[in-house]
A and B are shown apart, each in its own frame.
Chain A
């Protein structure tokens, strides 16, 4: 039985360093190649030694697919391709290809330049890695090789995020990456067609959350920002340069405009303008509304939001600052946080998920004293707010996607084990399909049951359709007979006659003849005629012929009669039929003749 194997090297019952290996139809595919932001040691990257202990990965992988530009999905890519070694194709969408190297470089700088780590990938490695990338367009069917094809679907989540359908023969897997099922201020909702994959591998970040309506959350966010500004406090919003940041900027920009607010809004690091430029050039990846109006008003040109300078952090008075990175684990957002943490008038709003080990994660868990480098401690007095703005599908959204794609099996990754367990139960109950949630390094094997595509000769098909009609009668199914010819890689179903002809074979006739003696005083021809009329009256629905050469044919069974000259009353009945006769059996026929005439051996 064919089977599909799925092994997460990362993101198995965890969020971070997403990396999932799929073996399908003899092909091996790596889905995402992310890093874990909660770790600084080996656990930061997926354990590629699982694939091979020594040497390069090229011969073990048919392709690598990156779902989107977040580092927990692409952060280990240069390490994998340049340091471990992989020269095969890497697929990602155009926006991901554009933005991914920038974030990787950003990440590299923080790690190497600020933390002084060595043995890390270099700028050149990022460039070399990106040269191996083949851009993917939405809905385009990409033939990786003769058998393996992939197709990308829109996933929402961030600019350029994609879900991917992987197909070999009639087996297939869908990997969602991260996705959201509700359109937001700048992105559309994920969509997939009814592709009925054998396995749907879905993220499950918000497996237990049913988020309240988007409008309420936005109002809440604006209210909190507004109140802090009103009392003269400063608001820090740690974000990643691309993604959530643009959505919140659009939100604040329109609010400032409407409320005529004067407090400054800043966006840290030089990435901002560049980031917005990406949004402008890839506007076709944003939502309907932005795309429709972009000629008149480009939503990514902000009037109220200005570039941030480090010195501004000490300015008196209220302000709102968007700073990177989003989990307060390094860089500018952390610096500003340290400055503002001591003042209870200030507020930090965490608009997304924070992985374990980051300061973001600690303060969200209510920790008010933080140990910093060099034994210093930091008292957290400012208000900490969490707003679930991450564009992930919630439980409802995940169920919605299952309904769209109609998978045969479900496999959860990118979530916490306990929450996955809950969702798994719900999925198995509602859809009556198996749901798996392997941990890292654990392999889940799903046997598939693919139907076998075959080429049927049009003559045979047409004949069958003409006889049986398009839908079989369930009470009396018509059986169709054919011969399947297997030659090299081709499977052809033809009529047995055609098969003989094509294969240059002679038909071998197998016939049976049976002699039966009977007594009848009539002449030979009369006896035969009596047999004929009798059979005609009892065997309704059969073709019965009385041929001029003194034979009676019942379907293809031949009946002949002879008698010897010395005893004309003793007749010998000859029944002859071929092996293929199936409509009527010889014994059945004889039974009927016996009823009429007395037979003896």
Chain B
């Protein structure tokens, strides 16, 4: 058994970060950034907010701890007043500079990339598909922009002190890994990190150091999203990250290529196992229409790429029937335009229906038409053109879904006080109650329609039955029902053998039965082999060759002929090293049949043979030659005095009857 190690650097099941050590290569699988930590921070308002600027500071009840500069009380909760911070993957478990490659599965799972590749000594290569790179860049750019638009000089650190944190009210008190929390990276770091990305296409085979081959497969979740196969000639690891079997815009999931893996690492299942995406989409539309008809505005906090394309497509079909033809739809993000434009140029990565549209040639997504007919308008921010063109009632799509930064903060302040307005949550990454906490009390209606198209437990168990991995590795969360629904045993993975669970900082040794390695016989050697049939359909050939190993590739070549020796030395050498010395001898198998052997001896002039039967076979006395041959089932013994030519003859005659291995 050869062990393969898996280091688990993230405990978040949908924002994974694992490191695989496999055949002397170190491969990081995704580097998700856990942004749920920002819920502990105060929102960053784009426009001066009297409410948020006059919040009381926090002092412990007994007055001994005074953190009024760092912590503010808002709507009955305590929030950190500083630039929001993210929870990074674990950096202490292994030396990040030893990572050879990073494989990215989708744009949501690469947001921690600059933290991994910058200032860590990382010198490797990052592999991602083109849509993943381009949209990932947009999402990072947006994040940086959101942060830099509202600069906060203060960095709060005192509250992180273990002694102090213990005394804080929840949920701050229970926040974990707070010392690893970091502020957002800069655009310069993003550019540097992304310059290390090498683009790959689905089913492209990428060789790593000659030892391992990696290949991305369509995962059906988002534009360019992929699962990965990591394999050598005899071992196969499947890495399944966010995958979807629903027919939305991306190319369908490639399931068959996952078959027959030794280990399948399973991450990125749906975060909403009980919410049906189609039903949610229906709820979304009806709540939206209801609010607009009543004269209210609709706010949709969302990411700038992904489900928003499906929402817009759904609305495109829905607008006319719901007579929303005159309602303005706004998409506000520093990358709104780019996201909409990019979505139209990745035909190769789309589902069949959308792909065939570009053959007409028509843009694959109908939001092009919404923009052309002025139904959908996009703006980089609430400032500038938007403020003069903005009409109500309207629908606004904007970020960030955590409600802590971005243009959405402004709309929360603007529309929160009216019960006519509705906020519809569609992104599943944040608890909507926590997201809303600093805005309470709210008059605005809240609708929760999380749309998570990733695999649910039912789909995944069917998939695993189909692809039959020998072992499954997954986050520990998947091995038990969710805490809030502990009776639902259908909301967990039940497999035989049971999956190997991991949590943040786990190091797993994966069982690997590695018995063979690929080697190439050079043509000259291959042509010189003499196969002989041992059993029907099975032949063997003895191979004597010289091994060459370079860059993890092995070849065998014929044994080179010894270089010609100058004639003067030759004689001496022959005496010292008879050529026989170098010749290799195979193992022998079979038995020597008595009658046939006697006949052969006879043919060679050995006629005086006395045969004596023994317990295990026969003894042949070659009387003229004064030689004994003992023939047994599994052995032949030639007892012959110092007569080299005779011995050689007898040897060769015996060998005729035996198989050589």
Residues of A within 8 A of B (CB): 94, 97-98, 101, 135, 137-142, 151, 170, 274, 277-278, 280-284, 294-295, 449-459, 461, 464-465, 468, 470-472, 477-488, 492-493, 496-497, 499-500, 503, 505-516, 579-585, 587-588, 590, 601
Contacts and interface: CB of A to CB of B under 8 A. Distances in A.
B443 interface: no
Given A455-B234, A458-B517, A470-B549, A294 B345 contact: yes
A229 to B, nearest CB: 32
A98 B12 CA distance: 42
Given A465-B549, A584-B581, 18 more contacts: A94-B348, A135-B355, A139-B201, A284-B345, A454-B521, A455-B518, A457-B515, A457-B516, A471-B549, A477-B559, A481-B543, A484-B529, A485-B540, A486-B531, A505-B534, A509-B634, A510-B635, A512-B639
Nearest to A277: B361
A140 B341 contact: no
B390 interface: no
Contacts of B544: 479-481
Contact of B534 (A98, A503, A583): A503
Most buried by A among B344, B529, B587: B587
Contacts of A500: 587, 589, 661
A450 B523 CA distance: 6
Contact of B203 (A142, A480, A509): A142
A377 to B, nearest CB: 42
A512 B358 contact: no
B433 interface: no
Nearest to A498: B661
Task: Provide the main secondary structure of the chain A interface.
Answer: mixed
A453 B518 contact: yes
B175 to A, nearest CB: 39
Contacts of A450: 523
B358 A94 contact: yes
Nearest to B534: A503
B615 interface: no
A510 B547 contact: no
A585 B578 contact: yes
9 contacts: A94-B355, A139-B201, A294-B345, A468-B547, A484-B541, A486-B540, A506-B589, A507-B589, A582-B582
A456 B554 contact: yes
Interface string B569-594: 00000000010111111111111100
Interface stretch (B165-173, B462-470, B651-659): B651-659
Given A141-B204, A452-B526, A507 B588 contact: yes
Contact of B531 (A484, A503, A506, A511): A484
A478 B578 contact: no
B418 to A, nearest CB: 36
A511 B635 CA distance: 8
B640 interface: yes
Contacts of A514: 639-642, 647
**Chain A to chain B: the 5 pairs with minimum beta-carbon distance, closest first:** A509-B635, A496-B587, A455-B516, A451-B520, A505-B589
Nearest to A483: B661
A281 B203 contact: no
Nearest to B539: A486
Interface in B617-639: 633-639
Given A484-B529, A500-B587, A455 B233 contact: yes
B535 interface: yes
B636 A508 contact: yes
A488 B537 contact: yes
B431 interface: no
A582 B581 contact: yes
Most buried by B among A488, A588, A590: A588
A451 B641 contact: no
Contact of A480 (B539, B556, B560): B556
Interface residues of B, number: 92
A555 B37 CA distance: 70
B547 A464 contact: yes
Contacts of B534: 503, 505
A454 B538 contact: no
B391 interface: no
Nearest to A515: B641
A440 B534 CA distance: 49
A455 B517 contact: yes
Contacts of B215: 141
A454 B542 contact: no
Interface string B282-309: 0000000000000000000000000000
A451 B555 contact: yes
Nearest to A473: B546
Contacts of B641: 514-516, 601
Given A281-B345, A580-B585, A483 B521 contact: no
Contact of A281 (B130, B347, B547, B636): B347
A516 B556 CA distance: 42
Contacts, number: 259
A469 to B, nearest CB: 9
B546 A478 contact: yes
B661 A512 contact: no
Given A486-B538, A503-B535, A274 B361 contact: yes
A582 B661 contact: no
A530 B608 CA distance: 39
A456 B232 CA distance: 13
A481 B529 CA distance: 13
A72 to B, nearest CB: 22
A480 B547 CA distance: 7
A585 B651 contact: no
Interface in B107-153: 130
A83 to B, nearest CB: 23
A601 B641 CA distance: 8
Given A456-B516, A480-B546, A496-B542, A510 B636 contact: yes
A484 B556 CA distance: 12
A510 B654 contact: yes
Interface in B59-114: none
A510 B531 contact: no
B539 A295 contact: no
B337 interface: yes
A282 B541 contact: no
B348 A582 contact: no
B635 A505 contact: no
A484 B201 contact: no
B368 to A, nearest CB: 10
B197 to A, nearest CB: 14
Given A94-B347, A139-B204, A461-B554, A477 B560 contact: yes
B547 A472 contact: yes
A507 B531 CA distance: 19
A486 B544 CA distance: 16
A580 B640 contact: no
A41 B345 CA distance: 41
B634 A582 contact: no
A139 B206 CA distance: 10
A453 B546 contact: no
Contacts of B587: 483, 496-497, 499-500, 507, 580
Contacts of B547: 461, 464-465, 468, 472, 478, 480
A468 B550 CA distance: 13
Most buried by B among A459, A497, A579: A579
Contact of A579 (B345, B514, B585): B585
Contacts of B359: 97-98, 101
Interface string B500-537: 00000000000000111111111100100101001101
Interface in B224-268: 233-234
A454 B553 CA distance: 12
Given A282-B347, A455-B234, A455-B518, A479 B584 contact: yes
Contacts of A170: 520
Contacts of A579: 585, 588, 651
A98 B516 CA distance: 46
B162 interface: no
Contacts of B519: 453-456, 461, 493
